[in-house]
Amino acid sequence: MSSYLFTSESVSEGHPDKVADRISDGIVDLYLAADPHSRVAAETLVTTNRIIIAGEVRGPASITPDDIEAVARKAVRDIGYEQDGFHWEKADFQCFLHAQSADIAMGVDADNDAGKDEGAGDQGIMFGYACDETASLMPAPIDYSHRILKTLAAARHDGTSPELEPDSKSQVTLKYEDGRPVGASSIVVSTQHKDGVSQEDLRELVRGHVRDVLPEGWMCPEEEFYVNPTGQFIIGGPDGDAGLTGRKIIVDTYGGAAPHGGGAFSGKDPTKVDRSAAYAARYLAKNVVAAGIASNCTIQLAYAIGVSKPLAVYVDLWGNPQVDPQRLSEVLRELVDLSPRGIREHLALSRPIYAPTAAYGHFGRTPTDEGHFSWERTDLVDVLKSTFGA
């Protein structure tokens, strides 16, 4: 279809599942800061005044349960939870992390004597995607959904809007004509707030943030602008709904505009291809679009546990007849070593860079000098342009 509606949602850092993601990624950073070769698979459950962590680790013995608890409580404090039902200092904490399975370690570890390179931490398929709908080369609905919530969170953190609380969700439905977004047909924002805030005042507060994020003239009709449709949103966060690591994988990626392999990212060190190969696939797809080779690009990578090479590299240019996808696949594999070790080294992933990924998407973000979001670089553009004449 050339004309249609498409919808994506986002959730804030205070959403229960995102609280769990933030804690899990904080644990990954804790271990990688102590030893870049650490292995971490940390799962978090949060509910009414309770934080529970489980999973497997292999890392320095100097990291104690107290260190892990401190990371968890700091994550909750930074998000802003000081409520009766969920408080960073008062919540009960339990940790059930244990040693990584020796069977998994045997498949993943390199063995120089046997000529074995580091293998993938699991089997699976991973997808990357990019399109030219926005400056971030992300689909417009998820891009705007994230940005609305980020501006609301910024106003809460800096004290501009003290009536707001951490938990919130957004949903943006855009109209497409001839395959391009042209405006919003509906906007939904649900945001937790302090008791006593009128719904009228909250609606006007949210409206200002939505208007600032959307392009001029894109605001939806008034009857399709929904703010806290239930009437109020006072009880929220883990007190209102339990949260688990890895339950917002579509929010984390492309808002449903592209396939997803099924694996979550948060809580996993970069030997887990669920995370690192998904980053690599986005990196390649983004560079393809940034080079002008295609307006849309989907890349799939496939791995087997314990095997270093990708089993397949699939490229879909969405009907661009100018470039042979098979040839592009070969060139991309020449430019980037897509083994788990190669990805980790090319994107410098064995660093404590993951806590900021836990909310507002892993993609479409800005790379930093400290190494965050290195997969968003476009440093392959020149060679792709010269190779394909884009």
The annotated binding site for L-methionine is made up of 56, 100, 241, 272
**DSSP H or E run through 381:** helix 381-388
Annotated binding site: 15, 17, 43, 56, 100, 167-169, 241, 247-248, 264, 268, 272
At 208, the amino acid letter reads: G
Annotated binding site for K(+): 43
Q: How far apart are CA 59 and CA 38, in angstroms?
A: 5
Q: How far apart are CA 279 and CA 232, in angstroms?
A: 38
Contact 112, 63 (CB under 8 A): no
Q: How far apart are CA 244 and CA 21, in angstroms?
A: 7
Q: How far apart are CA 241 and CA 237, in angstroms?
A: 6
Annotated binding site for Mg(2+): 17
Contact 242, 316 (CB under 8 A): no
Q: How many distinct helices (H) and strands (E) make up the chain?
A: 11, 11
How far does CA 190 lie from the centroid of its chain? 20
Contact 16, 243 (CB under 8 A): yes
At 242, the amino acid letter reads: A
Rg (CA), the chain: 21
How far does CA 33 lie from the centroid of its chain? 21
Sheet strand arrangement including 312-316? 124-131, 296-303, 312-316
* Residues sharing a CB contact under 8 Å with residue 47, sequence separation 6 or more, in sequence order: 16, 238, 239, 242, 243
Question: Which residues are known to be catalytic?
Answer: 15, 17-18, 43, 56, 169, 233, 241-242, 247-248, 268, 272, 274
